[in-house]
């Protein structure tokens, strides 16, 4: 309501970026097919609803945005989309549900077998907190994907490793998933090259066209929002910097407090007081703004001579001012947090991209050492052989 637009998806106009109707979004999959909301168009709509309040449904506008009194504010250009609610809680769960149901229907893999694969899979430590929940058999009727936005996103990324080996190549419904996966990778990237935006338009049009052809008339308003993303990313930059995920994470603190205190006489006062006390305690630290370093309590004392010979040579070449004698002992840990970034053994990072094809060069953390108060990540370089489109993963 902050923008003054209709909030119901059942209204005539379902988009605050264009004049698309609920019927249009199921037929037209290009932004050029719609009349965009501009400052002049929006001003005209406000004049019409002032003269005739019944026209609110026609134009999808309830009232003027309170921020319109601010200079340089344009309600049609100053409210970016939220990819958390649009993608993680809109498009992704819908695609997951339809793909899994279709795989079950065509007897490629059942819901029970998917749960068994999920149970056997070893989830990496970075995704362990967001491990997807078991799928319900009600998914085949009217149920949906259960879990938080992070859990749905995790399941979406892990889906090829769960079911792709059971799906035949060139399967139509799997092609829809792969198209959606490419769109999500571009939209949720922390940085996006401008030359990728025309490709995003093409992918969205192909995705919505195939989505309707394979699954029928199931396109929702949140699917329609994708056609505007290329233009909006040109205006706002990477949309991941503007999503609500961090706000929801902050909100989770207040939800936990409200649930645990079980005192609702003046819940606003309780939450504000608890939050301010917490902030006061955190800000009272003398090193609050210093470099943050967190080390696990347990560490392993490793003799330098017991390390692989190649690793010994590398450490000696890097630390020229350190004497690595035979009795030298260095501390080894399994994980460390430096400047709020957690590094752990077996983690894989992208080190660089190679050649004009931008082939990624990976490195896997094998050891984490503390050499005379300096943290060192010892890694193994990983060169991918090729990219498997069916599994949407690199083969090494």
Q: What's the whole-number mean pLDDT along residues 160-172?
A: 93
* Whole-number Å distance between alpha carbons of 367 and 344: 8
Task: Specify the pLDDT at position 36.
Answer: 93
Select from 191, 218, 194, 196 the least CA-distant residue to 207: 218
User: For residues 225 and 243, what is the distance between their CA atoms, to the nearest angstrom?
Assistant: 15
> pLDDT tens across 81-96, in order?
999 999 999 999 999 9
Asked if the model's pLDDT at residue 261 lies above 60, the reply is yes
CA dihedral 132, 136, 139, 140 (to 10 degrees): 140
State the Cα torsion 92-98-99-105 to the nearest 10°: 170
Mean per-residue pLDDT, 131-158: 90
Rg, the chain, Cα only? 26
Distance of CA 243 to the CA centre of its chain: 9
pLDDT 10s digits, 22-71 = 889 999 999 999 999 998 998 999 999 999 988 888 888 888 888 888 88
Helical residues (DSSP H) of the chain, grouped into ranges: 39-51, 56-59, 83, 92-105, 111-120, 149-163, 172-187, 196-215, 221-224, 229-236, 245-261, 267-283, 309-318
Q: What is the per-residue pLDDT for 212?
A: 96
Domain ranges of the chain: 1-79, 83-242, 245-283, 294-395
Beta strands in 4-74 (DSSP E): none
Q: How confident is the model at residue 10 (pLDDT cuts 50, 70, 90)?
A: low
Q: Enumerate residues 6+ apart whose C-beta is below 8 A from 259.
A: none
pLDDT value, residue 219: 93
Q: Can you state the percent helix, strand and coil of the chain, rounding each to 5?
A: 50, 15, 35
* Amino acid 228: pLDDT: 95
Contact, 72 vs 110, CB < 8 A?
A: no
Mean pLDDT is lowest, of 77-86, 171-180, 215-224, 286-295, for 286-295
C-beta atoms surrounding 298 within 10 Å: 7
Alpha-carbon span 345 to 365, nearest angstrom: 5
Task: Quote the pLDDT of residue 328.
Answer: 86
Beta partners for residue 337, in sequence order: 294, 342
**Mean pLDDT value across residues 151-165:** 95
Residue pLDDT, tens place only, 195-252: 889 999 999 999 999 999 999 999 999 999 999 999 999 999 999 999 999 898 899 9
Question: Looking at the predicted structure, is the pLDDT value of residue 11 above 70?
Answer: no
Q: 92-105 and 111-120 helices cross at what angle (nearest 10)?
A: 120
What are the DSSP calls for 112-143, one per residue?
A: HHHHHHHHHS---TTTGGGPPPPPPGGGGTT-
> How many Å apart are CA 378 and CA 368, to the nearest integer?
6
Q: Does residue 354 have a pLDDT over 90?
A: no
Phi then psi dihedrals of residue 176, to 5 deg: -65, -45
Q: What is the mean pLDDT of residues 177-204?
A: 94
> 338: buried, middle or exposed (CB in 10 Å: 19+, 13-18, 0-12)?
middle
């Amino acid at each position: 309501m902050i923008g003054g637009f209709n909030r119901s998806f059942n209204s005539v106009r379902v988009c605050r970026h264009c004049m698309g109707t609920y019927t249009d979004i199921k037929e037209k999959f290009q932004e050029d097919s719609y009349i965009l909301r501009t400052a002049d168009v929006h001003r005209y709509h406000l004049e019409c609803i002032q003269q005739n309040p019944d026209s609110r449904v026609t134009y999808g506008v309830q009232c003027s945005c309170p921020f319109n009194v601010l200079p340089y504010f344009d309600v049609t250009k100053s409210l970016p989309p939220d990819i958390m609610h649009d993608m993680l809680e809109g498009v992704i769960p819908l695609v997951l549900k339809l793909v899994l149901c279709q795989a079950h229907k065509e007897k490629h893999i059942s819901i029970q077998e998917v749960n068994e694969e999920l149970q056997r899979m070893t989830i990496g430590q970075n995704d362990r907190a967001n491990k997807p929940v078991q799928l319900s058999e009600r998914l085949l009727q009217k149920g949906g994907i259960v879990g938080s936005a992070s859990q749905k996103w995790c399941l979406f990324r892990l889906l090829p490793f769960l079911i792709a080996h059971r799906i035949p190549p060139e399967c139509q419904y799997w092609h829809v998933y792969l198209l959606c996966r490419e769109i999500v990778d571009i939209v949720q990237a922390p940085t996006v090259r401008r030359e990728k935006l025309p490709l995003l338009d093409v992918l969205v049009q192909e995705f919505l066209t195939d989505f309707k052809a394979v699954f029928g008339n199931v396109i929702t308003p949140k699917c329609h929002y994708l056609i505007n993303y290329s233009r909006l990313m040109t205006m706002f930059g990477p949309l991941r910097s503007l999503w609500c995920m961090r706000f929801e994470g902050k909100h989770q603190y207040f939800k936990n407090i409200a649930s645990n205190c079980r005192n609702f006489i003046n819940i606003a006062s309780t939450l504000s007081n608890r939050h301010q006390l917490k902030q006061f305690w955190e800000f009272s630290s003398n090193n609050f703004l210093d470099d943050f370093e967190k080390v696990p309590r347990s560490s392993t004392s490793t003799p330098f001579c017991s390390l692989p010979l190649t690793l010994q040579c590398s450490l000696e070449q890097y630390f020229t001012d350190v004497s690595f004698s035979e009795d030298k002992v260095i501390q080894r840990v399994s994980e460390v947090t430096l400047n709020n970034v957690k590094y752990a053994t077996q983690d894989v990072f992208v080190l660089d991209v190679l050649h004009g094809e931008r082939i990624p060069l990976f490195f896997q953390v094998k050891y984490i050492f503390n050499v005379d108060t300096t943290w060192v990540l010892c890694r193994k370089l990983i060169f991918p052989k090729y990219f498997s489109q069916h599994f949407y993963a690199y083969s090494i």
